[in-house]
Amino acid sequence: MSSLGRIAESVDHYNAHVAAEVARARTDKKFAAELRARWAKVQASVETTKSPTGTALPRLALPQTDEPGAIAEYLLGQGLPGEFPYANAAYREMYLDKGSSGEEPMRLFAGLGLAEDTNERFHYLSKNQKSLRLSTAFDGPTLYGMDSDAEGVLGKVGEGGVAIDTVEDMERLFAGFDLTRKDASVSMTMNAPAPVILAMFIAAAKRRFGADCVPNLRGTIQADMLKEVQAQNEVIFPIDASLRFLCDMIEWCVPNMPRWYPVSISGYHIAEAGATPVQQAAFTLSNGFTYAELLKARGCDVNEFGPRFSFFLDCGLDVEYLVLGRVCRSIWAIGMKEVFGANAKAQALKLHTQTSGRSLIAAEFQNNLTRTAVELMLAYMNYSNSCHSNSADEPFTTPTEKYALLASHGQSIIIEESGLFKHTMNLFGGAPGLLILERQVEKAILDVFREMDTLGGVLAAQEQRYQRSKIQEAGHNYEKQIYAHERPIIGLNKYISTEPMPSVPLARTSPKKQRLQVTRLKAFKKKNAAKAPEALQRLENVARHGGNVFDELVNTVEVCSLGQITGCLSHVVGKFRPMV
């Protein structure tokens, strides 16, 4: 049995354990008394507040019961927010308006044009934020580890994200931001070349803030290669080598960057590529467990790397999204505890949620504001630790300023303006419908685990292209449902407007800017022409002889471009062979 089978078993065992404890609470007087005493303590610890219209409210909504069975069911089955199995939340308090303390969950993804353009957008988006939370989208060539001067990519430079070729671009990208601030955090949606890009980020930060700034740097890099192979298709090196470079980076980050999340295990792209919510959750969690296995096999301590994992889910309009985050947290916690022997910090799943890009359409695109608002509501009901809300104009352009700002205001309206989250934590948890849905979704996820277990686990299933087939099949079904009018999409197949599409401004990168990026890159290469070959040779030696590649990359990026580095590594480990 692969660890997936054992994890599915452990969740079943845990559920049986909860049921047994509920029964015991109802028969064992001593146990009942203990539970009541604990419950009284919990209830007493809850502060109260008042709504602006004068209604008194608790800061935490608890089931109104003193029946020991119900208490046991809540405390063991769901757990208080911040307690095992974390169904309610990873932390005890989230989203509450408590003055200046606490960071807002908003994290807006931005990237366009050249580094200075994205930098300008970052300044624009963060001007009203208390804390500094930046999230970077990279352009196609960067995501594929190619230089902007590579043959045939010029038209893609700065499209859909920012073009980064060198450490100098990275310096421009974050100019004017104090990245060493305690409440600063930088997220980067970067996978196959993640080790190179993170090394550039570190090098750029050192240039600005001094060599000792590294432990203070805080943020997340996606670096989830399994989901790339399964869904997103941005892979450069063969799978083994990709996983090795990733693990090298995680191993380096754990001691050297204590505030950094070196992997964000992502279901977003799996769902965008077509997966159902259940498949998204099943593949994402199982990928996470696979990383834990790989690192354990390298001799890393689960209690050290476990807390540094973060997760990233898509949130669409399908009903399962009402509970997806809750269910994922409890499966992750139980699996990490029971199968990997992880402690509390490594059990709590930290979740970033992005509203669904696929659910947005170009026709009557202002409707996308409503779609995104509903999805955001679901994301907050699942106590996502951070959220990105998509811009309504995304189906046809990199978000323009206007719609990016509306997307960010959507979050503020739900969290800050409405009274749904700021007074009381967990107003919505525990509704009968949610509990029914949670059980269904959990069971369906475990069924996928068991199926992959029979195939030999995640990596073996992946080799048989199980995940890809399932995702493609689900994507195909989704399209067929739309065309068959079984899945209504307003403006597309229902209540279709005959109005022509309004002309809207597009954020495109001009050819002049694209050429400027190439000019800069050539200047960088020329300047470092004497030093680059030696740096690449050192990197090649480390890669060839099994050393920690990340350790060396931190030096290589000082004088080499992204494309030079991926080319060098490809020379050693080969190229990824795509799967259909």
With CB under 8 A as the rule, give the number of residues binding other proteins.
Answer: 53
Dist CA 425 CA 33 (whole Å) = 27
Dist CA 30 CA 467 (whole Å) = 49
Contact 270, 280 (CB under 8 A): yes
Smallest gap from Cβ 503 to other proteins, in A, equals 7
Smallest gap from Cβ 238 to other proteins, in A, equals 6
CA geometry: angle at 50 spanning 48 and 53, to 5°? 160
The dihedral built from the CA positions of residue 261, 305, 105 and 367, taken in this order, carries a sign that is: positive
Smallest gap from Cβ 252 to other proteins, in A, equals 24
575 is an interface residue for other proteins by CB under 8 A: yes
Considering only 131, 180, 233, 256, the residue that binds other proteins (CB under 8 A) is 233
Write the DSSP string, 116-175: HHHHHHHHHHHTT-SSEEEEEEB-HHHHTT--TTSTT-GGGTTSSSB---SHHHHHHHTT
Contact 319, 375 (CB under 8 A): no
Smallest gap from Cβ 549 to other proteins, in A, equals 16
Which stretch in 21-29, 68-76, 228-236, 433-441 sits in contact with other proteins by CB under 8 A? 228-236
Give residue 415's Cα distance to chain centre: 20
Pick from 430, 316, 311: nearest CA to 376: 316
Dist CA 256 CA 265 (whole Å) = 21
506 is an interface residue for other proteins by CB under 8 A: yes
Q: Which is nearer to other proteins, 217 or 273 (CB)?
A: 273
Considering only 30, 127, 545, 577, the residue that binds other proteins (CB under 8 A) is 577
331 is an interface residue for other proteins by CB under 8 A: no
Residue 330 tokens, joined: 């409890």
Cα-Cα end-to-end distance for the chain: 28
- Under rule CB under 8 A, which residues in 354-383 are in contact with other proteins? 361-363, 365
Which stretch in 194-202, 344-352, 390-398, 545-553 sits in contact with other proteins by CB under 8 A? 390-398
Smallest gap from Cβ 393 to other proteins, in A, equals 9
Smallest gap from Cβ 395 to other proteins, in A, equals 3
Which residues, including other chains, have CB under 8 Å from residue 266's CB and lie 6 or more apart? 222, 224, 227, 284, 311, 312, 313
Q: Which is nearer to other proteins, 19 or 363 (CB)?
A: 363
Contact 444, 474 (CB under 8 A): no
Q: Which is nearer to other proteins, 398 or 408 (CB)?
A: 398
Pick from 554, 449, 552, 543: nearest CA to 238: 543
Q: Which is nearer to other proteins, 273 or 446 (CB)?
A: 273
Give residue 517's Cα distance to chain centre: 29
Smallest gap from Cβ 155 to other proteins, in A, equals 3
Contact 92, 37 (CB under 8 A): no
Which stretch in 40-48, 157-165, 255-263, 413-421 sits in contact with other proteins by CB under 8 A? 157-165
Smallest gap from Cβ 122 to other proteins, in A, equals 20
- Under rule CB under 8 A, which residues in 88-147 are in contact with other proteins? 139-141, 143-144, 146
Residue 196 tokens, joined: 């190179």
Smallest gap from Cβ 284 to other proteins, in A, equals 17
Q: Which is nearer to other proteins, 112 or 532 (CB)?
A: 112
- Under rule CB under 8 A, which residues in 445-504 are in contact with other proteins? 472, 475-476, 479-480, 483, 492-493, 501, 503
> Radius of gyration over alpha carbons of the chain, in Å?
24
Which stretch in 116-124, 156-164, 420-428, 445-453 sits in contact with other proteins by CB under 8 A? 156-164
Smallest gap from Cβ 51 to other proteins, in A, equals 41
- Under rule CB under 8 A, which residues in 245-304 are in contact with other proteins? 272-274
Pick from 77, 476, 480, 474: nearest CA to 267: 474
Q: Which residues bind other proteins (CB under 8 A)?
A: 139-141, 143-144, 146, 151-157, 159-160, 228, 232-234, 238, 241, 272-274, 361-363, 365, 395-398, 472, 475-476, 479-480, 483, 492-493, 501, 503, 506, 508, 511, 573-580
